[in-house]
Amino acid sequence: MAPSKERLPVMADVARLAGVSHQTVSRVLNDHPNVRAETRTRVLEAIDRLGYRRNLVARALVTRHSRTLGVVSFDTTLYGPASTVYGIEQAARAAGYFVSIVSLTSIDRAGVRDALDYLAEQSVDGIVVVAPQRSAARALADLPSGVPVVAVEGGEAGDVSTVSVDQVAGARLATEHLLGLGHETVWHVSGPSDWLEAEGRVEGWRAALSAAGRRAPEVLPGDWSPRSGYEAGRRLAGMAGVTAVFVANDQMALGVLRAFAEEGVRVPERISVVGFDDIPESEFFSPPLTTVRQDFAAVGRRSIEMLLRRIEAGERWGREAFVVPPEFVARASTAPVRP
Q: Say if strands 327-329 and 291-293 run parallel, antiparallel, or are unpaired.
A: antiparallel
pLDDT band for 315, please (50, 70, 90 cuts).
low
3-state DSSP assignment of residue 303 = helix
What is the average per-residue pLDDT within 136-158? 74
Q: Which of residues 205 and 145 earns the better pLDDT score?
A: 205
Taking only the tens place, the pLDDT of each residue in 186-232 is: 999 999 998 999 999 999 999 999 999 999 999 999 999 999 999 99
What is the average per-residue pLDDT within 293-311? 93
What is the average per-residue pLDDT within 75-84? 84
Answer whether residue 266 shows pLDDT above 60.
yes
Question: Mean pLDDT for the chain?
Answer: 88
Answer whether residue 307 shows pLDDT above 90.
yes
3-state DSSP assignment of residue 72 = strand
* Contact indicator for 18, 50 with CB cutoff of 8 Å: no
pLDDT value of position 226? 97
pLDDT value of position 62? 46
Q: Which of residues 112 and 216 earns the better pLDDT score?
A: 216
Compute how many other C-beta atoms are within 10 angstroms of the C-beta atom of residue 338. Answer: 9
pLDDT value of position 63? 45
Torsion of CA 116, 121, 122, 125, to 10 degrees: 60
pLDDT value of position 153? 85
- 41's enclosing H/E stretch is helix 37-50
What is the average per-residue pLDDT within 239-265? 98
Share of the chain above pLDDT 70, in %: 89
What is the average per-residue pLDDT within 303-326? 85
* Contact indicator for 233, 257 with CB cutoff of 8 Å: yes
Q: Which of residues 49 and 176 earns the better pLDDT score?
A: 176
Q: Which of residues 131 and 217 earns the better pLDDT score?
A: 217
CA dist., res. 153 & res. 133, Å (int):
8
SS (H, E, C) 193-233: CCEHHHHHHHHHHHHHHHHCCCCCCCEEECCCCHHHHHHHH
pLDDT value of position 61? 47
pLDDT value of position 13? 87
pLDDT value of position 279? 96
